[in-house]
Amino acid sequence: NNNNNNDTSSSSSKLKANVVTKKSVLDSNRSKQVEIALSRLPKLEELMKAIKNLDANVIRKDALDSLLLILPKSDEIALIREYPSPDVIWAPAESFFLKTLTIKHIDLRLQCWAFRSEFEGSVHSLEEKLRLINGASKEVMRSEIVKRLLGLVLTIGNYLNAGNSRTEQADGFDLPFLLKLSDQRGNGTNLLEYVIRGYNSKFADKPLSLLFDHLSCVPKSKTISLVDVSSEVKKLQHQISEKIKDVNTIHSDPEVSQNKSDPFSYEMPSFMAKAEKQIKTLADLEKQTDEVFKEAVAFYGGQPAVSEEFFDIWASFLSQIKELLPKNLVMESQQSAPTPRTNEAKPKTAQFGAKLGGTDNPDFVSSLITQLKKGQAKK
């Protein structure tokens, strides 16, 4: 029994002797953060190789973000180097930190790589938003259907106001008034419904159903903030300038520039040159879009001047028309016009658009928008 106990004791001593304690000098929370991130990344040797080769098959965008968060700080490296024993076996976090020192400028490399990985997506997203606002701004200014429809709104509004000594005929109205048309009722029909029926009766050459094609960019533009998009474009311009400096810093190192096997030496300068041109094109589009949007706002009286609010009015107006359109495709012959507010047989303006300098002709609305700029309807 004594011999068995001695054997057991001897075996335990050998096992203890084989247990290696890995040294950690970092804060416990920092060590835990690094180790958790490393557990989701490839093995250390494979990871370092992928960083050198810019291998996107091994290190994807989310892995790049994780790496940037756990790169060592200068004081952490100093803490490891100050440890007296050169033969120490380091814990995983410290081992990773020391391994990063084998790749020069690893922080700038990863930052440039991360920027490249998301650049195309950012440019595409911003470009799409700018083109929508650009397109929507042009649509609301150029659509002949819009001009005719708003001409009817103004003329019918003036018709309803005829004979009212306290209400003069309006030269225009504020854009938000469009959303109040469905609240104005006469003879059991709201004003918007009557406008739709009047349009379908008067302008058969351009069906009102085409309005949704004419303003196809508007509904998608109502959630886009041009201010935010412009800010993002400027941010991207700043980032590309900074990253070009980083690439030049790395490329000025002979170990990189003269190493033809290092993908960074030829991929990144080429990418940055291309990206700089793309940013310039995007900035030009942003400037043009801002000008076109401001023109559209001024076109309709100057308010609202915020893109989301401006296009939300148009999108809501479209929705109201879409809801009423199916039952008003053809104006019924027996449908009577809303009765003026007095017994006067005719409004102050006997003909559609006469106040606008037009005649009882579909083309009378051609001068409408000029009048709408005055924007002071009294309804």
Residue 260 has a CB neighbour count (10 Å cut-off) of 8
Pick left, alpha or beta for residue 221 (phi over 0 → left; psi -120 to 50 → alpha; otherwise beta): alpha
Residue (of 159, 216, 176, 207) closest to 341 by Cα position: 159
Considering 108-117, 166-175, 197-206, 338-347, the range whose residues carry the highest mean pLDDT is 108-117
* Whether the Cβ atoms of residue 282 and residue 127 lie closer than 8 Å to each other: yes
In 145-239 the beta strands, taken as DSSP E runs, fall at 185-186, 189-190
Q: What is the mean pLDDT of residues 225-238?
A: 97
Alpha-carbon torsion angle 310, 315, 316, 321, nearest 10 = 130
Task: Quickly state the pLDDT bin for 15 (edges 50, 70, 90).
Answer: very low
Task: Quickly state the pLDDT bin for 255 (edges 50, 70, 90).
Answer: confident
The model's pLDDT over 65-83, given as tens digits with 9 standing for 90+, comes to: 999 999 999 999 999 988 8
- Report the C-alpha gap between 372 and 219 in whole angstroms: 22
More confidently predicted of 121 and 359: 121
- Report the C-alpha gap between 124 and 279 in whole angstroms: 11
Residue 264 has a CB neighbour count (10 Å cut-off) of 22
Residue (of 328, 353, 330) closest to 201 by Cα position: 330
Residue 220, pLDDT score: 96
Residue (of 230, 232, 234, 212) closest to 289 by Cα position: 230
Q: What is the mean pLDDT of residues 10-32?
A: 72
- Report the C-alpha gap between 123 and 127 in whole angstroms: 6
Instruction: Note if the bond before 304 is cis, omega within 30 degrees.
Output: yes
More confidently predicted of 105 and 10: 105
Burial (0-12, 13-18, 19+ Cβ within 10 Å), 183: exposed
